[in-house]
Amino acid sequence: MREIKVVETIHGRRFKVRYRLGGRDTSETFVRESDAIMFRDILGAGRGDRVAEATRWLEGRRTADAKIVPTFGQWFDGYVDQLTGVTPRTRNDYRSLHRRYLNHLDPLPLTMIARPHVTDLVNSMDNAGRSPKTIKQAVHLLSTCLRLAIDEGHIAANPCRNIRLPSTSLNEVEARFLSYEEADELVRAIPDHYRSLVVFLLGTGLRWSEATALQTKHVNIQAGTIRVERAWKRVPGEGFVVSVPKTRKAKRTVNAATMALAAAQPLLRRPADLLFTTPAGDPVRHANFYNNVWQRALLRTSLDPRPRIHDLRHTHASWLLSEGIAIEAVQDQLGHESLETTRKTYAKLIPAVGVAVGKAASAALDRALVSQTAAHDPAVGVVGVVGVEVGQRKELASLEPPVTPRLHQPASNA
């Protein structure tokens, strides 16, 4: 750490910082210790652009009409405090990201943060083995914080713009889509008490935090729907509390599979009672279920790779897409705020939708051209109309996908 020398003068105490400029030793003297600390911190190791940054800052301080610009540390504290519509946990997560990855920027005035600072952040996190998701979260937090600084007139441009981020790493966990047979094997391995919960997750696509916060009043057996209005969230210092769902669109009505409703029906009690509980009647916690139920059940299966609990949600979405359900409808079912989120997560499955669209178009065209077929010689067909022989259309229409097996019916005591 560069030393700040305290000097006593006839005008009072002063604070001196030494550094090299143009190959020569020089120094700056400050009246306020805070200015000396700021200058020293901007200098850092005192090489290259850091010296240029420090001298630019110094010139700005010396300009009488220079606008006072907050440091990043000051700005970030204010940014987090003024956020609206976020939970205490979200604020805590932002402060944690800042503490881990962004606090080295705290001494810099906002006007001094430039593109090299952002690229250094990305490269250092990447070299340290941080996941692409974590790097994206840190850069996004920095970017949104600086975007507000633009709105307030402190800076003219966002240095985070057009920064290329690392792509998915080899170690990134991908969504695991269970086949019908794999889902059947998994359900059979789950203990009786929790089998209904697993079937319900497969048949609704709800998030764990949403499903385990459901009350009896949220289940409409007659309509075949589930109303999602609550979710468990961890609040620092308070543990788990019931709060609103993850996003605005997460508060929704979900169409449930018949077997999911059948699994839930025996569990319906008083309107305010939790739908799913432990054998002792307590809320089902993810960590306890994962360690004592899920992991043990997987040991009794041949599933490889082993799915996560969240993969039940992915599997539900994959089944919908394989049946030709529109991606927008899947977005609504899952409660994704953005359609892009649904597209990115299930991009590899979307071709199945195209196959279903092609079959639907073929069926519709066949119905539409019945009169054309009847009006022409069968030997000639309707080549002049659509370029396809009648016999060819019949052959194409006869191509049906193989029958898919059904999910195993849960035991009656589930």
Burial class (CB in 10 A: 0-12, 13-18, 19+), 298: middle
How many Cβ atoms sit within 10 Å of the Cβ of residue 121? 20
| Three-state SS at 13 | strand
**pLDDT > 90 fraction of the chain, expressed in percent and rounded:** 49
What confidence tens digit (pLDDT) does each residue in 160-207 have? 999 999 876 545 567 899 999 999 999 999 999 999 999 999 999 999
Q: What values do phi and psi take at 324, rounded to 5?
A: 85, 10
The third-level CATH classification (topology) of the domain covering 180-337 is hpI Integrase; Chain A (1.10.443)
Residue type, 265: Q
Sort strands 231-235 and 4-9 into parallel, antiparallel or unpaired: unpaired
How confident is the model over 290-302, as a mean pLDDT? 97
At 46, the pLDDT band (50, 70, 90 cuts) reads: low
On the 0-12 / 13-18 / 19+ scale of CB atoms within 10 A, 243 is middle
Cβ atoms of 139 and 163 within 8 Å: the answer is yes
What interhelical angle do 311-322 and 192-204 show, nearest 10? 50
Which residue spans of the chain are classified as CATH 1.10.150?
A: 72-151
Bridge partner list, 109: 71
> How far is 300 from 314, CA to CA, in rounded Å?
22
Least confident of 14-28, 34-48, 172-186: 34-48
pLDDT digits (tens, 9 = 90+) for 67-82: 578 899 999 999 998 8
Q: Per-residue pLDDT for 116 more than 80? A: yes
Q: Which amino acid is it at 98?
A: H
Cβ-Cβ contacts under 8 Å for 59 (sequence gap 6 or more): none
Higher-pLDDT residue of 123 and 398 is: 123
What is residue 67's predicted lDDT score, i.e. its pLDDT? Answer: 58
pLDDT (0 to 100) of residue 408: 43
Closest CA to 362 of 392, 325, 319: 392
Residues of the chain with CATH 1.10.443.10: 180-337
> Mean of the per-residue pLDDT values for the chain?
83
Name the residue type at position 249.
K
Is the pLDDT at 353 greater than 50? The verdict is: yes
Judged against a pLDDT cut of 90, whether residue 212 lies above it is answered with: yes
- Contact by Cβ (8 Å): 8, 30: no
Contact residues for 292 (Cβ-Cβ < 8 A; gap 6+): none
pLDDT in tens, 225-236: 999 999 998 877
- Which residue, chain included where needed, has tokens 């306890």? 288
pLDDT at 396: 39
Half-sphere exposure of 193 (CA within 13 A, CB side): 11
Q: Is the model's pLDDT at 382 over the cut of 60? A: no
Cis peptide preceding 305, ω within 30 of 0: yes
Q: What is the pLDDT of residue 285?
A: 96
Q: How far is 360 from 328, CA to CA, in rounded Å?
A: 18
Contacting residues for 8 by C-beta, under 8 A, at least 6 apart: 14
Does 64 have pLDDT greater than 50?
no
**Residue 38: pLDDT band with limits 50, 70, 90:** confident
pLDDT value at residue 226: 97
At residue 32, does pLDDT exceed 70? yes
The mean per-residue pLDDT over the stretch 239-256 comes to 89
Q: Rounded mean pLDDT of 293-320? A: 95
Q: What is the dihedral of CA 215, 216, 222, 223, to 10 degrees?
A: -10
pLDDT of residue 266: 95
Asked if pLDDT for residue 331 goes beyond 50, the answer is yes
**Long-range Cβ contacts of 399-408 (<8 Å, 24+ apart):** 404/180, 405/180, 405/181, 405/184, 406/180, 407/180, 407/183, 407/184, 407/187, 407/199, 407/202, 407/203, 407/259, 408/184, 408/187, 408/188
Higher pLDDT, 83 or 280: 280
Fold for domain 72-151? DNA polymerase; domain 1 (1.10.150)
- Residue 394's pLDDT is 45
Q: Which amino acid is at 284?
A: V
Three-class SS of residue 372?
helix
What is the C-alpha radius of gyration for the chain, rounded to an integer number of angstroms? 31
φ/ψ of residue 65, rounded to 5: -100, 15
Identify which of 30, 40, 407, 35 has the alpha carbon closest to the alpha carbon of residue 188. Answer: 407
Q: What are phi and psi of 173, to 5 degrees?
A: -80, 125
Secondary element (H or E) of residue 323:
none
Cβ pair 106, 145 in contact under 8 A: no
Q: DSSP string spanning 162-223? A: TPPPP---TTPPPP-PPPHHHHHHHHHHS-HHHHHHHHHHHHH---HHHHTT-BGGGEETTT
